[in-house]
Amino acid sequence: MTTSVELTWVSALRAGLASDMVHDDADTLERHSRDSAPFSPAGTPAVVVTPETAEQVRHVLRVAHAHGVPVVPQGARTGLAGAANADDGCIVLSLLRMNRILEIDRGNRLVRCEPGVTNRGLSDAVAAHGLFFPPDPASWNDCTIGGNIAVGAGGLCCVKYGVTADYVLGLSVVLADGELVRTGRRTVKGVAGYDLTRLFVGSEGTLGVIVEATLSLRPAPGPSLAMLAQFPSATAAGEAVAAIIGRGHVPSALELMDQVTTRAVADVGHPMLSGDAAATLIVECDDRDPAAEVAAIAELCRTAGAVAVTVAADQEESKRVLDARRLVLPALQRQAASLPGRPTAFIEDVAVPRTRLAEFIDRIALIAAEHDLYISTVGHAGDGNLHPTVVFDQADPSAFARAERAYDAIMEAGLALGGTITGEHGVGILKREWLRRELDPGALRIQQGIKNLLDPEGVLNPGKVLA
């Protein structure tokens, strides 16, 4: 049933959009109600809109602003913090149809694109020009550039190449009242005025809707080689990480898997992995002489106490080494599938100073034992960014409650080690309460002030990031 008030704004919305851009069938509404995070509440949108131009996005925001209707911007809904979850009666603004690459400029190594391009689509397009867009979240096949920018996404090769924020030169953003603002520039450097670009990066759709991005690129890296080392303890693996960084190696991936993860991947049948090791390190190098570099790193791993080291001799073997990391998610899904009810594998995201990595992994193992839970931890070790993944049955109230408590304990431990509650997935709904724990009250007040400034009516993704 729709009230006449709703009809007013919905018809106003329709007036500026093509008929196939406004959706209110139950199926579409349901599909767009949440992202990929459990725990966080989600409502049912009144409509889902799929505009194709910035002007249409402006129209949507003008209508929403005038009628005080909340707008939830969405990319591919692969987010893991509930940041793209719908509110009851809101407008879900899907950017998926704005998926054009507008310009690839080889000379200046930059690309200009719309927000709905997938990470993979962009990467492939620029690769055809010998260029490279490094941020590579594991969800790259589906997730959008707009979503990557809005959360400040990371990925495997960030240890060497940096995160999404490091590649955003400029943005076009539609503000809450429908005004369009361009931030940043096409140049490598620039300091004119406050850095609004950085402000929008990571703002999770709460300050404006990104309708275009200018991103910097790198030349494609040379061929890479990988290696894998297994350790008798997390501490030994942590020492290897410290030694690798300390010697000045700059691997293009430096991933750590704890005991539980190692076993899960070995169980799905990875030939190079022994399921008994306490920790596994996977390293990839793409510098000029990757063979020499992986050999040197292998030596450092042995010195740190590695029990088994496999160095790839060629690209083929490298691929197989890296498969061990790629298999983590399927392995955990298989683990989940063995559970009854509504099983899920919930990927957490905490970052600690690199030196506290081993300590953190050991704490997580304790937390798992205490709460009688299956927790697998993998991490971008070079960045100190870990993803503890809790596999549990959401339909089992006891498991659900234990998972929630364990999740709190993990956040707590991360903060206690000088860390941060999210390295790359964002705050969304999931970590709103934790944001208050991490930020001091002054910072919170300023954050709220910025939100009020850019969205005085509170229509943009309300209730996310700042409660």
Partner 1 sequence: MTPATSLDSLLRVLPEGRVVTDPDVTDSYARDRTFLTPGRALGVVLARTRDDVVATMRWATEHRVPVVPRGAGTGLAGGATAVEGGLLLSLARMTDIRELSPADEIAVVEPGVINADLDRAARAHGLMYAPDPSSYEISTIGGNLATNAGGLRCVKYGVTRDSTLGLEVVLPDGRVLNTGRRTVKGVTGYDLTGLFVGSEGTLGVITAATVRLQRAPAAPPATVAAEFPTLRQAAEAVAAVIAAGCRPSLLELLDRATLKAIDDWRNIGLDPDTAAMLIAQSDTPDGQAVAERMAALFDECGASFVAASSTPQEADELIGVRRMAYEAKERLGACLVEDVCVPRSRLPEMISAIEAAAVRHDVLICTVAHAGDGNLHPVFVFDHGLPEPPPQVWAAADEVFRAALDLGGTLTGEHGVGLLKRRWLDLETGPVGREVQLGIKQVFDPLGIMNPGKAIQN
What letter represents residue 164's amino acid? T
Could you tell me which stretch among 48-56, 113-121, 323-331, 383-391 binds partner 1 (CB under 8 A)?
A: 383-391
List 386's β-bridge partners, or say none.
Answer: 350, 379
Positions in 199-228 near partner 1 (CB under 8 A): 199, 201-203, 207, 219
Position 194 contacts partner 1 (CB under 8 A):
yes
CA distances from 59 to 22, 53, 85, 175, 281 (A): 13, 10, 22, 11, 50
Binding residue (CB under 8 A) for partner 1 from 41, 68, 223, 246: 246
Say how many residues touch ligand FAD, by CB under 6 A. Answer: 37
- Within 177-282, residue ranges assigned H as helices are 196-200, 234-246, 259-267
Stretch that binds ligand FAD, among 60-68, 121-129, 139-147, 336-344 (CB under 6 A): 139-147
Binding residue for ligand FAD, selected from 180, 307, 329, 415, defined by CB under 6 A: 329
The CA-atom distances, in angstroms, between 186 and each of 113, 168, 200, 277 are 13, 10, 17, 48
Neighbouring C-beta atoms of residue 269, cutoff 10 Å: 9
The C-alpha atoms of residue 414 and residue 233 are separated, in whole angstroms, by 20
Alpha helix segments (H runs only) across 18-105: 26-31, 54-67
List the one residue from 10, 90, 153, 311 that touches ligand FAD (CB under 6 A): 153
Residue 8 CB, shortest distance to partner 1, in Å, is: 28
Q: Is position 422 an interface residue for partner 1 (rule: CB under 8 A)?
A: yes
Here the tokens at position 396 are 């089992």
CA pair distance 150, 115, nearest whole angstrom? 10
| Site for partner 1 contains 155 (CB under 8 A) | no
Alpha helices in 255-313 (DSSP H): 259-267, 290-303
Q: Any contact of residue 102 with partner 1 (CB under 8 A)?
A: no
Interaction partner, residue 219 (ligand FAD, partner 1, none; CB < 5-8 Å by kind): partner 1
45 sits near ligand FAD (criterion: CB under 6 A): no
Q: Residue 76 interacts with ligand FAD (CB under 6 A)?
A: yes
Q: Is 35 in the site for ligand FAD (CB under 6 A)?
A: yes
Out of 188, 337, 401, 467, the residue judged to bind partner 1 by CB under 8 A: 188
- Token pair 């061929």: residue: 223
Q: Counting contacts by CB under 6 A, is residue 60 touching ligand FAD?
A: no
Minimum CB distance to ligand FAD smaller for 293 or for 455: 455
Q: By C-alpha distance, which of 24, 145, 147 is closest to 77?
A: 147
Judged by beta carbon, residue 292 or residue 337, the one nearer partner 1 is 292
Residue 421, phi then psi, degrees to nearest 5: -75, -10
Query: What x/- string results for residues 107 through 136 when contact with ligand FAD is judged by CB under 6 A?
Result: --------x---------------------
Nearest alpha carbon to residue 301 among 279, 270, 271: 279
**Residue 95 interacts with which of ligand FAD, partner 1, none, CB < 5 to 8 Å by class:** ligand FAD
